[in-house]
Chains A and B, each alone.
Chain A
Amino acid sequence: MTLTRLFALLSIACCAATASAQELTGTLAKIKRTGQITLGVRDGSVPFSYLDDKQQYQGYSVDLCMKIVVQVQKQLGMTDVKVVMNPVTSANRIPLMANGTIDLECGSTTNNAERQKQVAFAPTMFVIANRLLAKKSSNIKSLADMKGKTLVATAGTTTLKQMTILNNEQKLGMNIVVGKDHPESFLMMETGRAAAEANDDILLAAQVASARNPSEFQITAEALSVEPYGIMLRREDAPFKQAVDAALARLYQSDDIQRIYNKWFMSPIPPKGINLNFPMPPQLKAVLAKPTDSPDPAAYAAVPPAQKAATKK
């Protein structure tokens, strides 16, 4: 028996002892028992979670989740945890989390108070603003320019809900159509089915960067909301939440987070080798320095009036 194997065995024995001293519950127990963890991933949330040309799931959120998996594996004293990638959509991620199909959701999910009634969130990993994307030729500078026009948003998103409320409240008379995922929403705008697409600015930036002709499009300057993104997990599972929070806090304190950020937002990314050139927003820097899982937008930045109107409800 080599020394390293002996060492591995010893460490397993030691951690098994601590584990049996404190009975594992919830997701941690499930991971220990089944030897696997299931990540909810997205097909088209570039660069957070998406399928590349080799049919591999990857992205910023997936990288963060893999860091969490490594820490959880260490904590459980396991030599190997099998990572299962389970594709989810904006519309089915919450039920799949609630019914136990996925253990962590590694996508681009807004953390808000309403969702916290059904699921929990890891410390915020990104901060976005809702904006509009339109063709330059259509001359749309703000939401007010959308009066009486067709707007597309993705099914299951906070954006869709916010636009529905704003449409009603500001009497815009917009015809709101729904794309089943982000690529389809973009397709609807690109083919002229909708005059503009409402979405998170970083996702819009990614769509423009990977479009056939990026100079054809522009993102409005007017921010319609501030939203924190979080990795989603099940509610009422304190030990697992602690493990996840600790893993991210540790990551945020290390240089790794800057490296991972640069890999996805400041460098060419697969499959087409586009570079988003999206320097880290100051709100995100603040969160990384002081991690929080608060669903309150005001905890991150000044809240735009359009969002205040929508959250009053």
Chain B
Amino acid sequence: MSPGFRARALFLKHEWVRGYTLMTPTLLCMICLMCLPLFMLFSYSFWTQNYLDIDKTFTLANYEAFFQKPIYIALMMKSIRMSLFCTFITLLLAYPMAYFIAFKVTKNKLVWLILITVPFWTSYLLRVFAWKVILGFNGVINSGLISMGIIDEPLQFLLYNPTAVVLTLAHAWAAFAILPIYVSLEKIDRSLLEAATDLGDTPTERFWRITWPLSLPGVIAAGLLVFIPTVGDYVTPRLVGGTTGIMIGNIIQSQFGKANNWPMGAALSVISMMLIALLVVTFIVSTTRARAKSS
């Protein structure tokens, strides 16, 4: 039996060999475009830079710099706090909307779903920028209030602060929160709710004992989908954040731009990624444990 023939027999006999063969181009592509670059980023964080030359001797200097300069740690913590807060607000606003579509809308659910996704499909940059237009010194709110004679001087506190960043992000990522929550609410077996009512639960009890626990997977997915990208966001803090609203993404970007210290930027990225992963894992483990305990 020739080796070629044997390979062919193996190919026809095992489904998984055929499956993996079919997936090879996609996997190769993902490895080349994701794993290799992330690995190189990781290596870069152990190097140093002298003007334009990269010194490739292994060193922990970048990580030491991170832990020695309080500004980095403070900024990292602030980014995470802002993202967590923003995720919380986004979920809080999105949940009733998802609930409404899943339980109250009987006809034209698709229309409601499309209505929610449309603003999300208009260039991210311009969605963020729209908030600058609204909140700005000469923006829509200020000029509107002045022309109506309610105020004389433009309000300064609207733009360029962490609140503006949180508001803008809650707007920009709304669809990412509503859709997963909606899907998990839609999946809930309605007969469970009827049973609870028959057994004498009030609507509030019914919500907290049945609907809420069963919608948790969607809430968790939504939380992750909003939290992870917002930590690293660069555009929103830059456009509406001002000096007090800058986040870790802006510092990472400046290391690759103005500061021209790529290894430091790489180290900051690696640290952010590790922190995010750590938070996400803790979050998932604690929620699954809490759910296992309650059931």
Instruction: Say whether A and B bind each other.
Output: no
Residues of B within 8 A of A (CB): none
Residues of A within 8 A of B (CB): none
